């Protein structure tokens, strides 16, 4: 707001103080510094994408929606990449199905 017309709005998620794209080298350096300050294990910036997708799948988001969010051309790419998450999802699905089968049948008019 202080820059007024001087701010370059490119609709970016991550940008410099003036709205211009961030140099990837600067982004990586700043990300590593933030990790060090936070005292969390070091990961690559790109690993945030994998973490995001894994969390979405673990909380039960539909793989097609996750695939679209990641910009994959096919849900197959998403499922192949994140298949390590699926065994836990299968257990949760079986538990939910069991619970549903135990529910009294609802009569419809």
Question: Is 52 found in the same domain as 9?
Answer: no
CA separation for the pair 68, 1 (Å, rounded):
33
Question: Is 73 found in the same domain as 87?
Answer: yes
Say how many CA atoms lie within 13 Å of 39 toward its Cβ.
0
Task: Count the domains in the chain.
Answer: 2
Q: Does residue 51 lie in a domain region?
A: yes
Question: Is 85 found in the same domain as 52?
Answer: yes
Tens digits of per-residue pLDDT, 45-100? 899 999 999 999 988 899 999 999 999 999 999 999 988 877 777 788 888 899 99
Q: Does residue 108 lie in a domain region?
A: no
For residue 27, the enclosing domain spans: 1-43
Question: Is 94 found in the same domain as 59?
Answer: yes
Mean pLDDT of 10-32: 90
Question: Is 33 found in the same domain as 10?
Answer: yes
pTM listed for this prediction: 0.65
């Amino acid at each position: 707001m202080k820059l007024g017309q001087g701010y370059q709005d490119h609709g970016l998620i991550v940008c410099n103080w003036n709205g211009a794209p961030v140099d990837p080298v600067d982004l990586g350096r700043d990300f590593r510094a933030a990790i060090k300050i936070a005292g969390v294990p070091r990961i690559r910036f790109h690993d945030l994408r994998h973490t995001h997708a894994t969390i979405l799948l673990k909380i039960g988001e539909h793989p097609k929606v996750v695939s679209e969010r990641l910009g994959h051309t096919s849900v197959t790419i998403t499922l192949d990449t994140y298949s390590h998450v699926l065994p836990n999802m299968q257990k949760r699905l079986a538990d939910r199905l069991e619970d549903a089968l135990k529910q009294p049948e609802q009569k419809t008019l």
